[in-house]
Amino acid sequence: MGAESVPRREVVTGRPRPVGGTTAPRPVPSPHHGSEPRVRQLMHRQLRAALITTALLALPLGLLPVLLRILPFADAAPRVPLAVWLLLGVAPYPALLAIGAWYVRRAERNETAPAAGTPAERS
């Protein structure tokens, strides 16, 4: 039993290094060499679409409590008129769906647009 040699355990975390001498690490080529400006432009377009979507959602929904406070039936407690329930429970959802659909179309168009000056960037 004692005559058998057990191989030493090693943790491999990268390429094996040369034993004889030290060499400078070689630069790893980027798979998208030269596409950094295009990626940056895509990120800017996606950020712009996200900010527009956020504004389109935040303004009407943020002003909804103000509108409900201004309306004359705001003091009609405890019986709340049907208009308030429709305004709160029904009205926001078509807007949410429309804005969400617009954002998805815009994001997909941005990703498939080849370069600057395309119709996806202008719309």
Arithmetic mean of pLDDT, 83-98: 83
Higher pLDDT, 32 or 84: 84
Q: Which amino acid is at 20?
A: G
Please work out, in degrees rounded to the nearest 5, the angle formed at the alpha carbon of residue 32 by the alpha carbons of 30 and 38: 135
Higher pLDDT, 34 or 71: 71
Can you tell me which residue has the tokens 């008129």?
A: 81
> Per the structure block, which two tokens stand in for 46?
């996606």
Distance CA 6, CA 29 (A): 39
